[in-house]
Chain A
Amino acid sequence: MHNLRFVEATVVDGVGLIELNRPEVLNAINRQVVSELVELMTAFDRDPEVGVMVITGKGRAFAAGADIHEMAGDSPIDLELLDQFADWDRLLSIKKPVIGAVNGFALGGGFELALACDLLFTTETAQFGFPEVNLGVMPGAGGTQQLTKIMGKRKALEWLLTGEKMSAQEALHFGVVNRLIAPELLLEETMKYAKKVAKQPALAVRLIKEAVDKAVDYPLDEGMKFERKNFYLLFSSEDQKEGMSAFMEKRSPQFKGK
């Protein structure tokens, strides 16, 4: 991890904490930010000291939109050759759980980044939205697909067509976020949950995430078979032997992540 300009990273008790650090532009997402995020998350994914990742924003926004200046003059061919969204695809292939701690506005690309996380904890005052339509375009990093898979076609369209902001309460109601937390405690509570997950047997956590991701896209029959393979696979792990022995011996397990 070298030359990170726009994101900051630390590892605390098995949690890889990633903070977007451009508060002066409400952590707007430009190509460099996404590329740094991918680099960092890929490294965390391979780091045995990291069990789970948390993404948050410094200042009053999580991430408010994209850098419009950067793309305003691009032609379709420029965009095809640049293939900027390939980095977003890589974000989705991260194996370890990623938790978003949404501390304020999550708009446009910022909302897409939030939706790319596996779980979302948010402040009661956070706001979400896809304002792209008001610029004559639309979300391009998964917004229409991710939001629809979560809240269904009708509700997703309602927000996407007007670009209006969704409150944290609405986001909770439609299952877009997991928990609403007092702003003062967002990071503390998110880290508390993340540390709990980081202590879990890493292979089980990894294969659970993989199986749950398949549930979204696979027909049930395929998903069940996929789940079964992962279930069997865990029986080759040391943690399965330790976990089950500890259970039978009525003691706490000591997991190694192997």
Chain B
Amino acid sequence: MGDTILYEVLNGVATITLNRPDKLNAFTHELNHDVRKAVKEASTDEGVRAIVITGAGRAFCSGQDLSGVDESIDHGEVLRNSYGPMVKEIDRCEKPIVAAVNGVAAGAGFSLAIACDFRLASENASFLEAFIHVGLIPDAANLYNLPKIVGHAKALELAILGEKISADEAKELNLVTKVIPAAEWDHQVRAFAERLASMPTKAIGLIKRNMKAGWQMDLHDYLEKEAYGQRIAGLTKDHQEGVQAFLNKRKPEFQGQ
């Protein structure tokens, strides 16, 4: 799948592990590319119904690997060629994506975490808008996604002041779904992801699609979009299963179809 990540599928969950632990999983062009390819693979693999992105070692992702950055770099082109395609692939993916933030998520690592649908934070995790400290703006869609999660004022504060946020603070900001004790980390991440993988996958995809669309539509257009969405969901086997299970007072078994 690529030299900079690990990719594994188990019980309907694809786990993408950023695997440059000695560099705190810092992004290189290759890592951007490998993550994009892995998300695409998980998107098209019918056996996958939930995706986890996490980091090997003690960091989630420390952001851009600055060792390759010098005066000759065109920062705009780096974004167009490396980060943009990765962020678009994540955005296109209709399966639920969980960022399992095991340690520091700084700079573009923070951006990666908030490009995902859910964030689970280890008690050891932290978040940092590092860009301002090197005179840059948060990129990889960071300023696009962050205000939607924490609100405009808070996002501005985080982006400009660049202060480190602990896992507990992140929970208070609604930046993460849950903070998990280190001892229970693997177990709880897997349980959360497998729970998502057992849900009606198509409906999850449509919820993601519609909620994103709503940000850029007026009510009139959105209601039309909603009608499409419910029509599609209404044609799924999982909808039939859900209704039957309800009528027969049993637990539904969704197949993701």
Q: Does B245 contact A (CB under 8 A)?
A: no
Within the assembled complex, what's the spacing in Å between the Cα atoms of A90 and B212?
Answer: 43
Contacts of A182 in B (CB 8 A): 209, 225, 228-229, 232
Chain B CB count within 10 A is highest, among A181, A182, A188, A189, for: A182
Q: Does B75 contact A (CB under 8 A)?
A: no
Contacts of A181 in B (CB 8 A): 228
Q: Does B231 contact A (CB under 8 A)?
A: yes
**Nearest residue, chain A, Cβ from B209:** A182
Interface residues of A in 171-194 (CB under 8 A from B): 181-182, 184-185, 188-189
Q: Within the complex, what minimum Cβ distance (angstroms) separates A183 from chain B?
A: 9
Interface residues of B in 203-257 (CB under 8 A from A): 209, 225, 228-229, 231-232, 235
One digit per residue, 1 when the CB lies within 8 angstroms of any chain A CB and 0 when it does not, for chain B 101-117 equals: 00000000000000000
**Nearest residue, chain B, Cβ from A188:** B231
**Nearest residue, chain B, Cβ from A181:** B228
Within the assembled complex, what's the spacing in Å between the Cα atoms of A236 and B242?
Answer: 57
Within the assembled complex, what's the spacing in Å between the Cα atoms of A185 and B228?
Answer: 7
**Nearest residue, chain A, Cβ from B213:** A124
**Nearest residue, chain A, Cβ from B206:** A182
Interface of B is mostly: helix
**Nearest residue, chain B, Cβ from A169:** B216
Q: Within the complex, what minimum Cβ distance (angstroms) separates B8 from chain A?
A: 28
Within the assembled complex, what's the spacing in Å between the Cα atoms of A185 and B227?
Answer: 11
Within the assembled complex, what's the spacing in Å between the Cα atoms of A164 and B113?
Answer: 31
Within the assembled complex, what's the spacing in Å between the Cα atoms of A184 and B209?
Answer: 13
Within the assembled complex, what's the spacing in Å between the Cα atoms of A155 and B123?
Answer: 52
Contacts of B235 in A (CB 8 A): 184
Within the assembled complex, what's the spacing in Å between the Cα atoms of A185 and B225?
Answer: 11
Contacts of A185 in B (CB 8 A): 228, 231-232
Interface residues of A in 126-183 (CB under 8 A from B): 181-182
Contacts of A184 in B (CB 8 A): 232, 235
Within the assembled complex, what's the spacing in Å between the Cα atoms of A188 and B232?
Answer: 11
Within the assembled complex, what's the spacing in Å between the Cα atoms of A32 and B229?
Answer: 38
**Nearest residue, chain A, Cβ from B228:** A182
Contacts of B225 in A (CB 8 A): 182
**Nearest residue, chain B, Cβ from A182:** B228
Q: Within the complex, what minimum Cβ distance (angstroms) separates B190 from chain A?
A: 31
**Nearest residue, chain A, Cβ from B216:** A169
Q: Within the complex, what minimum Cβ distance (angstroms) separates A242 from chain B?
A: 33
Q: Within the complex, what minimum Cβ distance (angstroms) separates A192 from chain B?
A: 11
Chain B CB count within 10 A is highest, among A181, A184, A188, A189, for: A184
Within the assembled complex, what's the spacing in Å between the Cα atoms of A184 and B229?
Answer: 9
Within the assembled complex, what's the spacing in Å between the Cα atoms of A181 and B227?
Answer: 11
One digit per residue, 1 when the CB lies within 8 angstroms of any chain B CB and 0 when it does not, for chain A 80-117 equals: 00000000000000000000000000000000000000
Within the assembled complex, what's the spacing in Å between the Cα atoms of A181 and B225?
Answer: 8
Contacts of B231 in A (CB 8 A): 185, 188
Q: Within the complex, what minimum Cβ distance (angstroms) separates A164 from chain B?
A: 13
Within the assembled complex, what's the spacing in Å between the Cα atoms of A182 and B205?
Answer: 12
Q: Within the complex, what minimum Cβ distance (angstroms) separates A182 from chain B?
A: 4
Within the assembled complex, what's the spacing in Å between the Cα atoms of A181 and B228?
Answer: 8
Within the assembled complex, what's the spacing in Å between the Cα atoms of A184 and B228?
Answer: 9
Interface residues of A in 183-208 (CB under 8 A from B): 184-185, 188-189
**Nearest residue, chain A, Cβ from B210:** A182
Q: Within the complex, what minimum Cβ distance (angstroms) separates A87 from chain B?
A: 36
Within the assembled complex, what's the spacing in Å between the Cα atoms of A202 and B209?
Answer: 39
Contacts of B228 in A (CB 8 A): 181-182, 185, 189
Within the assembled complex, what's the spacing in Å between the Cα atoms of A127 and B229?
Answer: 22
13 contacts between A and B (CB under 8 A): A181-B228, A182-B209, A182-B225, A182-B228, A182-B229, A182-B232, A184-B232, A184-B235, A185-B228, A185-B231, A185-B232, A188-B231, A189-B228
Task: Name B's A-contacting residues (CB within 8 A).
Answer: 209, 225, 228-229, 231-232, 235
Known: A182-B229, A184-B232, A185-B232. 10 other contacts (CB 8 A): A181-B228, A182-B209, A182-B225, A182-B228, A182-B232, A184-B235, A185-B228, A185-B231, A188-B231, A189-B228
Which 5 pairs, one residue from A and one from B, show the smallest C-beta to C-beta distance? A182-B228, A184-B232, A185-B228, A185-B231, A182-B232
